[in-house]
Amino acid sequence: MYMDDYKRWVDVELEDAALTKELEEIAGNEEEIKERFAVALKFGTAGLRGVLGAGSNRMNIYVVRQATQGLANWVKTQGGNQLVAISYDSRINSDVFAKESAKVLAANGVKVRIYDALMPVPALSFATRYYKANAGIMITASHNPAKYNGYKAYGPDGCQMTDEAANVVYAEIQKTDILTGAKLMSFEEGMKAGLIEYVGEDCKEALYDAIKARSVRPGICRTAGLKLVYSPLNGSGLVPVMRVLSDIGIDDVTIVPEQKYPDGNFPTCPYPNPEIFEALRLGLELAEKEGADLMLATDPDADRVGIAMKCPDGTYELVSGNEVGVLLLDYICASRIENGTMPEHAVAVKSIVSTPLADAIAAHYGVEMRNVLTGFKWIGDQIAQLEAAGEVDRFIFGFEESYGYLAGPYVRDKDAIIGSMIICEMAAYYRSIGSSIKQRLEELYAEYGRYLNKVDSFEFPGLSGMDKMTGIMDGLRQNPPTEFAGDKVVKAVDYKNAAETGLPAANILIYTLESGATVIVRPSGTEPKIKTYFTTLGKDLAEAQAQKDKLAEALKPILS
């Protein structure tokens, strides 16, 4: 079957010469052909993601057209504006895939609002809501290596698409012939017909205004003299992040020169992820040279932001996503209470794999903390529920341990632009009172206990990877562990059992241990990985780390 598909692609005159060349190069190599054609990239709530190249199991213009035809078929059943918003980041072919999507939508009579230059995830979520679009498309593979690209689909609320809608779109995709099934119109023709328009300046300015309106201590950055080093990691953050930082009064910003401009090859960081030290190395070196108070880095689609803080001895320390999450929660709560801007019955939201220290901090300030499944759409869903009840202003903050933050309901996905703004504001405030981010973090640990949160990943590449991952998760369910490294399991929760958790079913296992530690096991939704999350609590970092190391060692044979 896959050989037939391969032959069909070879026999057709493809528009992309690079794909033709690739198909010629793999002639006679059955393994390589199988890798590209045995399966198709599956469309889910996160859309599509895969390696760039030829075939149904790769990201290319034909897969993008097929997906967009499926989306167009769904949009045409939705009534409303019959409009889709599109944005894209700096990845290889992101601009090409964005335009191909627009061409297919226009040919189906669906209107398009597309950004005239790369813009990040939050800008796409905002435009989808601003134009009351039926859907949004973001061309990105987030923080994956350079050889990947992807296609994120959004619903009318600016949140990643629901399971129900994604299933309908996927069914439509499967009915669409990958090479010939998508309708197509030239981009110029679409613009001439008024079906394709660029996103207006009014929409761009409204996003910046919405972000700045969520400032917790307006004006603090103008007088604090904050010195900053910033890296957009060759992605889409440069323009929006610098614009907002400039508007709030931060003008001493040194940008990492090698990572300043968009470049989908990510030449200085093979894995452009602010969670990874290697991606931040150049920024850290520059921060030390400049004596910066803070170093920030946003990922290619600028929905995540990582930081390094200056310590009293002049060295720099990377801050985990969980730590930034609790610092921001604490700062927002304390500041809003002090300023009299805290709403009644305030709500914060975090993913179930994020640190329980946030629950303790929320309780301290009288804030309701809601715990949801991993994936920022579930945080967006909580905002939507508040909005439906006419109580959207109760939402003050949402975060995930994987460096995703949101401090307002103007978009429904994580936003590194507002994350960067409030992190800088927080740093400026602590500086203005003779403190620092580092000092405040130590104070939180002194008050609540030394929490340690660590994530380990196990990769399962290739076609058999998914089967291996399924086998491991099945094994854990069929033979539930009773202890890890001698620490007894006192509670095990299987999130596939929605009745037990009160949340939608999900492939996640959480073990609470006698020591108070937790171990979480979940397959990634976007990559061939199983992730293990450890939370330990010790009298100091060394004790918490030693406990984590013991637990991680005990899990290795289970996940190998």
Distances (CA, A) of 307 to 106, 249, 318, 320, 505: 41, 19, 6, 8, 33
**Whole-number pLDDT of residue 62:** 98
How far apart, in whole angstroms, are the C-alpha atoms of residue 55 and residue 35?
A: 9
Average pLDDT (14-43) is 94
DSSP letters spanning 379-421: HHHHHHHHHHTT-GGGEEEEEETTTEEE-STT-SS--HHHHHH
State what percent of residues in the chain have pLDDT above 90. 91
The answer to whether 478 and 357 are in contact (CB under 8 A) is: no
Average pLDDT (480-484) is 94
How far apart, in whole angstroms, are the C-alpha atoms of residue 404 and residue 531?
A: 17
Distances (CA, A) of 8 to 16, 58, 262, 272: 15, 16, 36, 36
DSSP letters spanning 427-492: HHHHHHTT--HHHHHHHHHHHH-EEEEEEEEEE--STTHHHHHHHHHHHHHHS--SEETTEEEEEE
Contacts of 345 (CB under 8 A, 6+ apart): 368, 391, 394
When pLDDT is cut at 50, 70 and 90, the band that residue 464 belongs to is confident
pLDDT tens column, 298-350:
999 999 999 999 998 999 999 999 999 999 999 999 999 999 999 999 999 99
| Encoded amino acid at 31, one letter | E
pLDDT tens column, 263-304:
999 999 989 999 899 999 999 999 999 999 999 999 999 999
Q: How many helices (H) and strands (E) does the chain have?
A: 20, 21
* φ and ψ of 112, to 5 deg: -130, 135
Q: Model's pTM, two decimal places? A: 0.94
Strands ordered across the beta sheet of 253-255: 253-255, 228-231, 294-298, 305-310, 316-319
Residue 19, pLDDT above cutoff 70: yes
Average pLDDT (495-516) is 90
Average pLDDT (65-85) is 98
Q: Which residues are catalytic?
A: 142
pLDDT tens column, 157-172:
999 999 899 999 999 9
Average pLDDT (455-474) is 87
How far apart, in whole angstroms, are the C-alpha atoms of residue 270 and residue 466?
A: 24
pLDDT tens column, 358-368:
999 999 999 99
Q: What is the mean pLDDT of the chain?
A: 95
Question: Residue 345: left (phi > 0), alpha (psi -120 to 50), or beta?
Answer: left
**Whole-number pLDDT of residue 466:** 82
How far apart, in whole angstroms, are the C-alpha atoms of residue 73 and residue 454?
A: 43
Q: Strand pairing partners for 511?
A: 492, 519
Q: Quote the radius of gyration of the chain (alpha carbons, Å).
A: 24
**Whole-number pLDDT of residue 500:** 83
Strands ordered across the beta sheet of 347-351: 368-372, 347-351, 395-400, 404-406
**Whole-number pLDDT of residue 132:** 98
The answer to whether 394 and 346 are in contact (CB under 8 A) is: yes
**Whole-number pLDDT of residue 526:** 67
